Structure 1
């Protein structure tokens, strides 16, 4: 009989335990194995060469942190049954199962407004059927329907194990040390009051450090102007490809990607939609982009060369939006230089905004030694909160370098 209680060696967290056999069965399932071929950070490796890690790595890391968080809570007297532990670990393990190629970059591009969480639930339900109802409680927790709300908070909130893993992992693989957070310290400060997740008051500085680390990672890594541009160009490529296909242009592409370029309506996902989606990964998209660098459509080939040969357009970042006239001038120059009429396909303005800490959406609560709870922003000991409660927005304009 196969031993399924494995230990996995992870470069970020060290040894990761698989304490329940069903976790191993889910990890071995083709739906989950596909995550090995889905980049955690899209095209970020074009800017930070080490960022080659996948959703597979991240899901295992988040599962590990869930196990550690529950162990901590049990030591503090919180009753957690084996079934609850198993369900919480399954829920976080599967939280990204619905991601498509290049993760967030192509969200909603392939199946209209099918957000990855919507597809995740769909795939969880299919797995639940396959595993004869063993994921019932995990799905309940994932959807926030379980009566003990701290489980859902550990899965999805402003202080969940998902964020803790991706910050530490992305910091590790990009080499950006500002994003490194002391997850062990944060987890050791976790507690439960009235079935809600709270943090021991003495852990306030670890929480502030976590929130500022997240803020730095967004502006220094995820919203880095070239990273934001790479993500935008990837969307532009798929948009252009879908447009050409709609004009009856026969684009060469792997069959699973071609399926989504041709089909436009996804009101209800069919069996074929799901089969195709769960076979689709970064490799399909990258292979197509590589082929399209030589396509006769100038815009498509130009965009694809940007990704394959890292020929990024000129980009300028500002805290204020660029004027329409400025954009029009660039479009006219592009049309003139390349002798085309659709220069607006190669010129554009994108924006990125960030609210480091939302005081309304699932606020973080601290608990003092007397058992009294209060919001993070109400603590007299907070130091950095003032710079985290306001949203920041940046604008990025891009255009071909040839017109400089």
Structure 2
């Protein structure tokens, strides 16, 4: 048993992060949290930005560090926050990503049926709380937004929370996309609480503007980069094909846990009823990549080729346009792929696929970002800002994309 639990982590973004309570160490040591070391923060983004191999573990530690700094800053401004609440909020943000599956958002809803990572996270939180003797009761209430101080939940989940502050700065650092750099120190110092509402002091308005612009740029340049979209959709197609084959081919090899979730439609209720939560929590990026290496040698031509494309980085070509793609033209392209590869039209759909990429840097209908003016009046950022771009960022932007094998040339003709 480790008696020295107040350790220090050296983080490339913030420097030394100190564990301030033994319960934090116990959470970090829990197998469900250690699993986050084996889940990439940005899925397959490293295929475009080679440095993007940081993990959910690193991000969670960074978000906890920002939470501690924010709470201490708010306390200095006279906001009533108890020592127990400071600890609970740190626990809450530390565990905010605990429900993510392999490759983070990429395979969400593709291994579990109609179940979000937030729901899985809620179940895992309860399990960890039980293992640790109920020390997370307040943290769970904060995450569920059932705790009486609502601003604590806003620090965990809102449009200006510790999650977003860390991932923008961290993802910018590891991808090398400098446009995503934000001044977290200044933003934190500008936060305040008015009538249980998290707000930004008037002099921090330009920092918020920079934050929203950086978020928009990071989405189009990193998270929704066309090659990232194509690579991640390719991974999804592999899982889809493997799911079909797993029902009839007993020789398809992977970890037993992964096979279990491929062969069965398992939702949140079944995770509890059939005691499968720990099995799902044992699956990480390593299971998927091991399976892909094995499946690249499978006798099924479609699965084998899809897996080789991932391993050898033969990412499908991507076309992006503002209008929907013509479905007849897509069907013709599928027929061409089916004939060339000598596979069925259904199988060709794994190589030719389309979708929509949407981005909204700020949602005026959600939990708003309020600017505190000098008379303590609270004004939405889009109203308080004199920057026209901030108002335009509240409008959703959608782009249609089509992916297909590079060897099939369709030219610049709109399809």
Provide the TM-score with structure 1 as the length reference. 0.97
Partners of 1:268 and 1:387 in 2: CA distance: 43
Q: CA deviation at 1:386?
A: 2.6
Contact 1:88 1:151 in 2 (8 A): yes
2:191 matches 1:213 = no
2:351 matches 1:346 = yes
Q: CA deviation at 1:383?
A: 4.8
Report the secondary structure of 1:133's partner residue.
coil
Q: Deviations over 1:128-149 (max 9, x none)?
A: 1122221110000000011111
Q: CA deviation at 1:227?
A: 0.3
What aligned pairs does 1:317-396 form with structure 2 within 5 A after superposition? 317-342=320-345, 343-379=348-384, 381-396=386-401
Contact 2:270 2:276 in 1 (8 A): no
Partners of 2:90 and 2:303 in 1: CA distance: 43
Partner of 1:173: 174
Partner of 1:120: 121
Partners of 2:86 and 2:276 in 1: CA distance: 33
Report the secondary structure of 2:42's partner residue.
coil
Partner of 1:304: 307
Q: How many residues align?
A: 404
Q: Deviations over 1:200-239 (max 9, x none)?
A: 0111110011011000000000100110111111111111
Q: CA deviation at 1:293?
A: 1.1
Partner of 1:269: 271
Partners of 2:225 and 2:338 in 1: CA distance: 28
Counterpart among 289, 294, 303 of residue 291 in structure 1: 294
Contact 1:204 1:381 in 2 (8 A): no
Report the secondary structure of 2:36's partner residue.
helix
Report the secondary structure of 1:103's partner residue.
coil
Contact 2:91 2:136 in 1 (8 A): yes
Report the secondary structure of 1:351's partner residue.
strand
Partner of 2:63: 62
Q: CA deviation at 1:345?
A: 2.3
Q: CA deviation at 1:346?
A: 1.1
Partners of 1:17 and 1:366 in 2: CA distance: 32
Partners of 2:200 and 2:408 in 1: CA distance: 54
Q: CA deviation at 1:76?
A: 0.7
Provide the TM-score with structure 2 as the length reference. 0.95
- Please say which of residues 272-281 and 113-122 is displaced more in the overlay: 272-281
Report the secondary structure of 2:158's partner residue.
coil
CA 1:345–1:380: 2 relative to 1, 3 Å = closer
Tell me the C-alpha RMSD between the 2 structures.
1.3
Partners of 1:123 and 1:328 in 2: CA distance: 43
Q: CA deviation at 1:254?
A: 1.6
Contact 2:231 2:316 in 1 (8 A): no
Unaligned runs of 5+ in 1: none
